[in-house]
Structure 1
Amino acid sequence: MKTIYRNKNGAKETFIQAYDRTLQEWDVPVESAYFDTSFGETHVLISGPEDAEPLILFHGFGFSSTMWIENIRPLSKRYRTYAVDFIGDINKSEAIRQIKNKEECASWFREILNGLNIQKAHVAGLSYGGFIALVLAIYAPQFINKMVVMSPAASFQPQSKKFFIKCLLAGVFPTTKRLNGLMNYMIGKGNQVNETLRNQFIAGMQNALPKNKLFPSYMEDDELKAIQCPTLLLIGDQDIQYDPRKAIARANHLVPHIQTKLVADTGHGLAMERPTTINSLMISFFSTSVNNREL
């Protein structure tokens, strides 16, 4: 498989340095571990008490597990957190072959859990990571306890053409101005994203390009009806990839055990934009039972 890096003249080193700068700002102890899978080496950032409930985190497309920089402290106080670098994306995982479909994604997940010696875990994901979480809830349900899905890429509604085109142009022409513009377009009005993480995203997109064949897609009714784990869906009221209210309505109609919340004054990057709010919602959902469908 071809490398994700755009050239051989220091591109990998430049990105790894940016990744490590973000990781230096994590204010909790972290273990950086690699696990062999049939798709290549998967990199995982591990924090929290060894005897705590496991929580697996999946990042957004083009980011990495350092995306959870503003969330990791409160989450790792309560859980043993495993922030997984999705293989084939821009991060420290090293793919030898691409994940081509949902079944292969579930196989990769099972191999990771085997390496981590985890039988069952909570799962959370943002954007592309939210789409991955939903895939795993459908194709590897026996391994998931509860799930928090934040602004999942496509999944409940088709992505808008404008959103798709902006993302495509940022990948093809990754100027600093265009990438900053994409970030500003994705977050809610007046909100901020950690500056070091923003710089890592820019360095990543300018020096690498994801090699991934499992693209976010609109999920069929039967797929969504098959999700049996308790699920919390969070979408920002300013999300720009689709109509958030239509996505929540479809989720409430089809997913059996779901609670939903439209997060006020928030765009597509919920966990990065509103970390205090999102951390509280995640911890509350994972630790208690919520009966009503809409929070």
Structure 2
Amino acid sequence: MRISQFKNDQARDRYRTAYERTLAELWPGQRTALDVPTTFGTTRVYRTGPPSGEPIVLLPGSGGNALMWHRYVDELARHRPVIAVDAIGEPGASVQTTPIRDGRDGAAWLDELLAALEVPAAHVVGCSYGGWLALSHQIHHPGRTASLTLVDPAGFADLGLRFYAWLIAGGLASVAPRRVRPRLARLVGNSAILESELMGLMRAAMGFRRELPVPPVFPDEELRRLHVPALFLLGARSAIHDSREVADRLGRLAPSARVEIVPDAGHALPTDRPDLVTDRILQATGR
């Protein structure tokens, strides 16, 4: 298997320039950057907030990095330490050296990262692909997760035509003139395209080859092993699954989990309803 990496040095340098500019624009406040070695490569994280307490660990969706949480960090850091992660294998400041073949490898990477950061118990928040990683970690490495908040997580349906059509439509809409993007965002159901700075960063990532596994559907026996406090926030109009079916399945297999289907929201739930997502994260962490 191959590893995620830039196509060449020029692509890497272009992206890093765009990344540093976007970081300075979107996250101008105080932060500490750490590069943490793991078996799978060096992982960049940003720490902010109080020096002690169980931290909130933020995992991005596919193709994203720590900067996708820029509008959340200040509010969350008023209550708890925050660790925002450039997930290994995604475009960002992390550098992958070993393939991640499946959910077990992804879980092992996250467990190594938390151990290296000396985090015995974390409130893990994962969006989409990051939600799949967070849940995989809790299933395969129980004991280090204090709570889970999973924002329209992957791993509950095969990614079909509907998802790829949503993805392509969003990509095309993101390069349209800025004045028409709000209308296009409503049309394609993807408010993330209104994050102009992050869309620019994603365009800079065109020179990045992402080599990570497609999330398989969690089998029943794994979901039955979910025993930590877990909140599933599902967009009613999600492009990756039928949210009602997911809620019903979790009700049967993981009765301790809480599920909230958010009306008038889709897979881009963090940009559709940022205030609601922030509030639910803080509720789940016992603020």
What is the TM-score of this pair, normalised by structure 2?
A: 0.88
2:223 maps to 1:228: no
The residue type equivalent to 2:215 in the other structure is P
Q: Could you tell me how far apart the structure 2 residues matched to 1:105 and 1:189 are?
A: 27
- Aligned partner of 1:148 in structure 2 is 149
The residue type equivalent to 1:13 in the other structure is D
Q: Output one character per residue of 1:38-61: Cα deviation in whole Å (capped at 9) or x when no partner.
A: 111111111111113211111000
* Partner SS for 2:45: strand
The residue type equivalent to 1:177 in the other structure is L
Q: Could you tell me how far apart the structure 2 residues matched to 1:191 and 1:109 are?
A: 26
Q: Could you tell me how far apart the structure 1 residues matched to 2:188 and 2:230 are?
A: 24
Moved more, 96-105 or 131-140: 96-105
Matches within 5 A, 1:58-207: 58-153=59-154, 155-164=155-164, 167=167, 177=172, 180=175, 184=185, 188=189, 193-204=194-205, 206-207=206-207
- Aligned partner of 1:292 in structure 2 is none
- Are the equivalent residues in 1 in contact too, given 2:3–2:99 (CA < 8 A)? no
Cα drift, residue 102 of structure 1: 2.3
Q: 1:7 and 1:127, CA in 2 relative to 1: closer, same or farther beyond 3 A?
A: same
- Are the equivalent residues in 2 in contact too, given 1:30–1:46 (CA < 8 A)? yes
- Aligned partner of 2:180 in structure 1 is none
Q: 1:190 and 1:136, CA in 2 relative to 1: closer, same or farther beyond 3 A?
A: closer
- Are the equivalent residues in 1 in contact too, given 2:108–2:137 (CA < 8 A)? no
Matches within 5 A, 1:35-46: 35-46=36-47
Q: Could you tell me how far apart the structure 1 residues matched to 2:107 and 2:141 are?
A: 6
Cα drift, residue 134 of structure 1: 0.9
Aligned pair count? 279
- Aligned partner of 2:13 in structure 1 is 13
- Aligned partner of 2:179 in structure 1 is none
* Partner SS for 1:145: strand
Cα drift, residue 164 of structure 1: 3.6
The percent of aligned pairs where both chains have the same amino acid is: 27
Q: 1:124 and 1:2, CA in 2 relative to 1: closer, same or farther beyond 3 A?
A: closer
Q: 1:177 and 1:164, CA in 2 relative to 1: closer, same or farther beyond 3 A?
A: closer
Cα drift, residue 66 of structure 1: 0.6
- Aligned partner of 1:263 in structure 2 is 262
Q: Output one character per residue of 1:13-32: Cα deviation in whole Å (capped at 9) or x when no partner.
A: 22112222221121431111
- Are the equivalent residues in 1 in contact too, given 2:166–2:188 (CA < 8 A)? no
Gaps in structure 1 of 5+ consecutive residues: 289-295
- Aligned partner of 1:47 in structure 2 is 48
Cα drift, residue 191 of structure 1: 7.4
What is the TM-score of this pair, normalised by structure 1?
A: 0.86
The residue type equivalent to 1:197 in the other structure is L
* Partner SS for 2:209: coil
Q: Could you tell me how far apart the structure 1 residues matched to 2:171 and 2:36 are?
A: 33
- Aligned partner of 2:280 in structure 1 is 281
Q: Output one character per residue of 1:175-222: Cα deviation in whole Å (capped at 9) or x when no partner.
A: 9737658x9489737776422112112221x1212122x321111111
The residue type equivalent to 2:163 in the other structure is F
- Are the equivalent residues in 2 in contact too, given 1:221–1:254 (CA < 8 A)? yes
Q: Could you tell me how far apart the structure 2 residues matched to 1:91 and 1:61 are?
A: 12
Cα drift, residue 273 of structure 1: 2.6
Q: Could you tell me how far apart the structure 2 residues matched to 1:98 and 1:165 are?
A: 28
What value does the CA root-mean-square deviation take over the aligned residues?
2.6
